């Protein structure tokens, strides 16, 4: 290995290397904090000056990082949050943790990565180690970073170094964090991989080297596409069981007793979050460039995207039991965030369900103890109603979309208001007014009602 390699390796091992993190969100801020904790000087770069000011004030905006943790990082004098990209000039190794959303027509939007690379090029210097962490399609690291930096006359593995290491942050996960979650990493060359491994081993317990950035990029997409496909399959099972009059939740619990060869997933009102709805689309988009059309990914996407419509149709079936229709009914959605006990509304199926009820003429409201407001499709701000069981008893129907642990399930069940439970959260209540997806609505014949023969 050459002088650049040896110098950087030594600086990393001696913790003299100045580290950089671009993007101080739910991935980048915990990463920067872990780096500071391990004794490194860390420059955190983010375009949002409000984030930078809050960090200096020790006000964390990431649930996994406490104010105290942030303040102690600042107190070391080794954490330097800034909006100034020129600080790249003093950085030896930089991790890029910026969003990779979908565009309007569901194609990958890598503009955030490209914008960072343009800034890196402005302040590029020999020996810089660049690691991309943002979830993206196989080939991104080579096409959007290596090719661009090499246009400046640099050679990967010789006078700069390049890796891909997918983020595996699971916000609000109390068991797994940046340090104890195994981290996959692939380098453009052997020297790149060695340096990337040496760096990440400083603050991650288990670093998993693979043979290339593409393998690392693809492994992340497999992880999350695996979830999307399995969630879609169990959603299809739910609709099948509904039609067949079988309780899918009981079926899953029974299957889950198998100690090998089975992994339970659970039906829901659709899928939300910043990963599962998006990551598979990055993979299917790239595969199409190779004339490979992933039927699993497209089918999973359409099955999961169909669930809000299934919820609306089931609501109509339930209201029909009370000689009511969705139109003009007062309906309350319980829980709006995309998964329990967080406020994150990104891609939440509850938002789609809210709009569908509104389009079908319902007087729709929602209650969520964490997600206090959102912007609906018409651009209006919608606020959560206050928690008030007396008020809740006035609704024609309630729909549980997100099973926050703080909800008073017993109090809500005791109101006698018909409930459509999309998470089996009311599993311990057998009252006839509690219905759930994945099980049929037991039609109660009324006196004199026509009997189908
Ligand atoms: N969902 C179901 N049924 C299931 C599991 C999830 O309907 O059986 C729904 C959830 O309600 C949610 C969506 O799917 O709306 C996504 O849920 P998720 O549990 O996958 O949570 P995420 O989106 O926070 O995914 C993250 C991912 N982490 C990273 O990408 C680093 C994912 O890889 C993790 O497996 C997941 O957290 C986790 O296990 O918590």
For residue 295, the domain's CATH number is 1.10.1040.10
Closest-CA residue, ligand 1 atom 28, reads: 170
What pLDDT is recorded for position 443? Answer: 76
Asked whether 228 lines ligand 1 (CB < 6 A), one says no
- The β-bridge relationship of strands 363-367 and 373-375 is unpaired
Long-range contacts of 349-353 (CB under 8 A, 24+ apart): 349/268, 349/269, 349/270, 349/271, 349/272, 349/307, 349/308, 349/401, 350/269, 350/272, 350/401, 350/402, 351/376, 352/270, 352/308, 353/269, 353/270, 353/308, 353/311, 353/312, 353/399, 353/401
Judgement on whether residues 345 and 427 belong to the same structural domain of the protein? yes
| pLDDT tens for the 453 residues of the chain, in order | 789 999 999 999 999 999 999 999 999 999 999 999 999 999 999 999 999 999 999 999 998 899 999 999 999 999 999 999 999 999 999 999 999 999 998 899 999 999 999 999 999 999 999 999 999 999 999 999 999 999 999 999 999 999 999 999 988 788 999 999 999 999 999 999 999 999 999 999 999 999 999 999 999 999 999 999 999 999 999 999 999 999 999 999 999 999 999 999 999 999 999 899 999 999 999 999 999 999 999 999 999 999 999 999 999 999 999 999 999 999 999 999 999 998 999 999 999 999 999 999 999 999 999 999 999 988 999 999 999 999 999 999 999 999 999 999 999 999 999 999 999 999 999 999 999 999 999 877 777 776 655
User: Is the separation of the CB atoms in 3 and 158 below 8 Å?
Assistant: no
Closest-CA residue, ligand 1 atom 13, reads: 271
Distance 326 CA to ligand 1 centre (A): 30
Distance 63 CA to ligand 1 centre (A): 17
What pLDDT is recorded for position 452? Answer: 59
Contacts of 437 (CB under 8 A, 6+ apart): 238, 242, 267, 268, 269, 310, 311, 314, 420, 421, 422
* Nearest partner of 419 among 401, 439, 397, 440, judged by Cα: 397
Judgement on whether residues 146 and 98 belong to the same structural domain of the protein? yes
- Give domain status of residue 13, yes or no: yes
What pLDDT is recorded for position 136? Answer: 98
Distance 378 CA to ligand 1 centre (A): 28
Structural domains in the chain (count): 3
What pLDDT is recorded for position 451? Answer: 62
- Give domain status of residue 422, yes or no: yes
Distance 224 CA to ligand 1 centre (A): 8
Judgement on whether residues 300 and 346 belong to the same structural domain of the protein? no
Judgement on whether residues 164 and 72 belong to the same structural domain of the protein? yes
Helix (H, G, I), strand (E, B) or coil at 225: helix
Judgement on whether residues 119 and 17 belong to the same structural domain of the protein? yes
Contacts of 224 (CB under 8 A, 6+ apart): 135, 275, 276, 279, 280
Q: Which of 188, 210, 232 is the last residue of a domain?
A: 210
Asked whether 387 lines ligand 1 (CB < 6 A), one says no
Judgement on whether residues 11 and 155 belong to the same structural domain of the protein? yes
Asked whether 275 lines ligand 1 (CB < 6 A), one says yes
Judgement on whether residues 132 and 67 belong to the same structural domain of the protein? yes
Asked whether 273 lines ligand 1 (CB < 6 A), one says yes
- Give domain status of residue 413, yes or no: yes
Closest-CA residue, ligand 1 atom 29, reads: 168
The number of the ligand 1 atom at minimal distance from the alpha carbon of 273 is 23
Closest-CA residue, ligand 1 atom 38, reads: 170
Q: Which of 304, 339, 354 is the last residue of a domain?
A: 304
Judgement on whether residues 345 and 312 belong to the same structural domain of the protein? yes
Is position 192 annotated as part of the catalytic site?
A: no
What does the alpha-carbon distance between residue 96 and residue 24 come to, in Å, rounded to a whole number? 10
CATH number, residue 113: 3.40.50.720
- Give domain status of residue 444, yes or no: no
User: Is the separation of the CB atoms in 297 and 225 below 8 Å?
Assistant: yes
The number of the ligand 1 atom at minimal distance from the alpha carbon of 339 is 11
Asked whether 231 lines ligand 1 (CB < 6 A), one says yes
- Give domain status of residue 432, yes or no: yes
Asked whether 265 lines ligand 1 (CB < 6 A), one says yes
Judgement on whether residues 386 and 404 belong to the same structural domain of the protein? yes
Distance 240 CA to ligand 1 centre (A): 23
Residue from 73, 192, 241, 275 carrying the catalytic annotation: 275
- Give domain status of residue 442, yes or no: no
Asked whether 224 lines ligand 1 (CB < 6 A), one says yes
Terminal Cα-to-Cα distance of the chain (whole angstroms): 83
Per the confidence metrics, is the pTM higher than 0.85? yes
Distance 43 CA to ligand 1 centre (A): 31
What pLDDT is recorded for position 419? Answer: 98
Domain that holds residue 393: 307-436
131: which 2 tokens?
A: 């690691």
Judgement on whether residues 257 and 195 belong to the same structural domain of the protein? no
Q: Judging by beta carbons within 10 Å of its beta carbon (0-12, 13-18, 19+), is residue 423 exposed, middle or buried?
A: buried
- Give domain status of residue 441, yes or no: no
Judgement on whether residues 330 and 264 belong to the same structural domain of the protein? no
The number of the ligand 1 atom at minimal distance from the alpha carbon of 266 is 8
- Give domain status of residue 451, yes or no: no
**Cβ count near 201 (within 10 Å):** 15
Asked whether 314 lines ligand 1 (CB < 6 A), one says no
Asked whether 266 lines ligand 1 (CB < 6 A), one says yes
Q: Judging by beta carbons within 10 Å of its beta carbon (0-12, 13-18, 19+), is residue 93 exposed, middle or buried?
A: buried
Closest-CA residue, ligand 1 atom 21, reads: 273
User: Is the separation of the CB atoms in 387 and 367 below 8 Å?
Assistant: yes
User: Is the separation of the CB atoms in 218 and 138 below 8 Å?
Assistant: yes
Distance 53 CA to ligand 1 centre (A): 31
User: What are the C-alpha distances in Å from 394 to residues 95, 331, 383?
Assistant: 53, 9, 18
Judgement on whether residues 159 and 26 belong to the same structural domain of the protein? yes
Asked whether 438 lines ligand 1 (CB < 6 A), one says no
Phi first, then psi, for residue 265 (nearest 5°) are -120, 160
Q: Which of 277, 304, 331 is the last residue of a domain?
A: 304
What pLDDT is recorded for position 94? Answer: 98
Residue of 271, 303, 421 with the most ligand 1 atoms within 8 Å of its CB, for mutation: 271
Closest-CA residue, ligand 1 atom 36, reads: 170
Asked whether 271 lines ligand 1 (CB < 6 A), one says yes
């Amino acid at each position: 290995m050459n002088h650049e390699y040896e110098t950087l390796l030594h600086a990393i091992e001696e913790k003299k290397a100045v580290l950089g993190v671009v993007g101080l969100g739910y991935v980048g801020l915990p990463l920067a904090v872990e780096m500071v904790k391990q004794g490194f000087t860390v420059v955190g770069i983010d375009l949002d000056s409000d984030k930078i000011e809050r960090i200096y004030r020790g006000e964390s905006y990431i649930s996994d990082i406490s104010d105290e943790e942030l303040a102690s990082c600042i107190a070391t004098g080794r954490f330097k949050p800034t909006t100034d990209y020129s600080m790249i000039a003093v950085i030896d190794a930089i991790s890029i943790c910026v969003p990779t959303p979908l565009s309007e027509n569901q194609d990958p939007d890598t503009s955030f990565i490209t914008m960072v690379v343009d800034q890196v090029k402005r302040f590029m210097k020999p020996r810089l180690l660049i690691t991309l962490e943002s979830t993206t399609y196989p080939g991104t690291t080579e096409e959007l970073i290596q090719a661009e930096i090499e246009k400046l006359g640099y050679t990967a593995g010789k006078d700069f170094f390049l890796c891909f290491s997918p983020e595996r942050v699971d916000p609000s996960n109390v068991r797994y964090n940046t340090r104890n979650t195994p981290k996959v990493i692939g380098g453009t060359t052997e020297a790149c991989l060695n340096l990337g491994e040496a760096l990440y081993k400083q603050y991650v317990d288990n670093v998993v080297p693979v043979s290339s950035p593409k393998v690392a990029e693809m492994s992340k997409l497999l992880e999350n596409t695996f979830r999307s496909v399995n969630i879609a399959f169990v959603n299809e099972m739910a609709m099948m069981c509904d039609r067949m009059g079988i309780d899918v939740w009981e079926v899953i619990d029974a299957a889950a007793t198998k100690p090998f060869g089975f992994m339970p997933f659970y039906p829901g009102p659709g899928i939300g979050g910043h990963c599962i709805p998006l990551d598979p689309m990055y993979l299917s988009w790239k595969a199409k460039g190779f004339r490979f059309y992933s039927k699993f990914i497209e089918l999973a996407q359409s099955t999961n995207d169909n669930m809000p419509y299934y919820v609306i149709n089931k609501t109509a079936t339930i209201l029909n039991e009370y000689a009511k229709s969705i139109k003009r009914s007062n309906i309350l959605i319980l829980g709006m965030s995309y998964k329990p006990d967080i406020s994150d509304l990104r891609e939440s199926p509850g938002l789609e369900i809210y709009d569908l009820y509104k389009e079908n003429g319902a007087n729709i409201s929602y209650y969520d103890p964490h997600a206090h407001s959102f912007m609906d499709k018409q651009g209006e701000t919608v606020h959560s109603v206050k928690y008030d069981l007396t008020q809740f008893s006035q609704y024609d129907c309630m729909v549980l979309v997100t099973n926050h642990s703080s909800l008073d399930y017993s109090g809500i069940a005791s109101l006698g208001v018909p409930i459509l439970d999309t998470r089996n959260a009311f599993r311990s209540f057998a009252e006839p007014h509690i219905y759930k997806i994945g099980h049929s609505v037991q039609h109660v014949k009324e006196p004199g009602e026509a009997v189908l023969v």
